[in-house]
Amino acid sequence: MADWRPKLIPALSYRDQRAAMTWLEKALGFEVFMLIEDADGGLVHSEMRFGDAVVMIGSEWTDDHRSPASIGGKNSQTVHVSVDGDIDAHCERARAAGAVILAEPETQFYGDRTYRCRDPEGHMWTVSQTVAEVTREEAEKISGLKITGWV
């Protein structure tokens, strides 16, 4: 099982894990991959898959693991998701599912079209689709930035 797993798996804390998982399926296209419940049906651990990526959906299990909804909407991270297909339609899907769109889809200097949204508990998500192959030199010319490490 461990051979295919990504080397980096973000874990997000939610007040209501089951509602979060339902929302992530409906809005962003994630699918439940692993669900571990205790004898009373309480959720112990869950993982969702998006293509070859995984995210853990957890509870507020310590004072240091809280949903943005419990700490005034603050975030210390965002999650970036790369999609195939129509990014504008994906944004509309997220909006219809209740996402707060923080930035409408816009093509970036590096060739991705992106939008940003906030889920019902306040986690921020950036969603992108590559729409143009751009060289480092082209990106530098368009942006006026010096770029190193371009792959």
How does pLDDT run across 111-138, given as a tens digit for each residue? 999 999 999 999 999 999 999 999 999 9
Spell out the per-residue pLDDT of the chain, length 151, in tens: 557 778 889 999 999 999 999 999 999 999 999 999 999 988 888 999 999 899 999 998 888 889 989 989 888 888 999 999 899 999 999 999 999 999 999 999 999 999 999 999 999 999 999 999 999 999 999 999 999 988 7
Q: What percent of the chain has pLDDT over 70?
A: 97
pTM of the full predicted structure? 0.89
CATH number listed for the domain at residues 11-59+75-143: 3.10.180.10
Tokens of 2: 């461990």
The DSSP bridge partners found for residue 43 are 37
Q: Is 87 within 8 Å of 115 (Cβ atoms)?
A: yes
The 3-class SS string of 9-76 reads CCEEECCCHHHHHHHHHHHHCCEEEEEEECCCCCEEEEEEEECCEEEEEECCCECCECCHHHCCCCCC
